[in-house]
Amino acid sequence: MPSPTELGLAWVAGSLTTLNPCVFPLLPVVLGGALQANRWAPVAMGAGMVAMFAMLGLLVGVAGEALGIDTDVIRLVGAWLLIGFGLVMLIPTLNAGFTRLISPLASGAYSATTRVDSGSLVGAFATGSLLGMVWSPCSGPMLASALTMVATEGGAARGTLILGMFGLGAASILVAAAYASRTGFGKVRGWVLTHMENVKKGFGLFVLLLGVAILTGGDKWLEAKLVNVLPEGWINLTTRF
């Protein structure tokens, strides 16, 4: 099962997906019409986003179990992928190349959202499930990092929890932005545009160091330390399934 560190990291990665400077300023455009048509539409969008990412995690987790690849090999490959994605977030040239690579996916998803009535709750749910792909050129490395955490050990429940938490992080910012006042949103937007690149680089460095920790066994050491300091109820919750 995922550790508290992995769940927290997945939530932060999802939040940064929506706070990304090329996503967050566009939220009023995404949410405006839907919110006017139905006051609960942003919540339905958030639910669709969580469901889509959780389903993706389930599929990746099941695929890992079905392939039966040695877990040590998966951890080694996953560690190098995390290091790679960390470098992508830290080096602008690599980030631009990654964006060009996955832009076709985002274009297809955007075309699909234009055919959905986001004013109805069902339509808003469908739109939310597609938004992650629409935003993938800007936030792809963060999603890829979460997927790598799933792939390092596999497992359907583990994948569902980690990617579901990623989706919850993204959805929480989406829903908060929908119901925030114009003044409040404007202040947060200004902060995002000013500081987000530094936050993104900090997360990239963290992902890179996480990959190094997996290579050296430092992640297991940290997990053992956290077990000793975290409340027993939280530990039981993350290891129940």
pLDDT at residue 107, rounded to an integer? 65
The span from the CA of 207 to the CA of 186, in Å, is 30
Q: How far apart are CA 234 and CA 241, in angstroms?
A: 13
pLDDT at 169: 92
Q: 37-66 as b/e, with b when 16 or more CB fall inside 10 Å?
A: ebeebbbbbbbbbbbbbbbbbbebbeebee
Mutual angle of helices 92-113 and 71-90, in 10-degree steps: 100
Range of the domain at 50: 4-239
Report the distance separating Cα 206 and Cα 82, nearest Å: 10
User: pLDDT value at position 220?
Assistant: 66
Contact 109, 134 (CB under 8 A): yes
Quick one: tokens of 79?
Answer: 């560690």
Look at residue 231 and give its three-state secondary structure: coil
Mean pLDDT by 10 residues, the chain (241 residues): 75 84 74 76 89 88 68 74 84 80 65 65 84 71 75 76 91 87 77 78 83 77 59 52 46
Q: Which two tokens stand for residue 158?
A: 């583990």
Handedness of CA 47, 21, 196, 184 (dihedral sign): negative
Answer yes or no: are the C-beta atoms of 231 and 11 closer than 8 Å.
Answer: no
Alpha carbons within 13 A on the beta-carbon side of 46: 22
Amino acid 165: pLDDT: 92
Task: Pull the structure tokens for residue 147.
Answer: 């997927």
120 exposed, middle or buried (CB, 10 Å; 0-12, 13-18, 19+)? middle
- Tally of structural domains, the chain: 1
CA dihedral 215, 220, 222, 228 (to 10 degrees): 180
- Give residue 153's pLDDT: 67
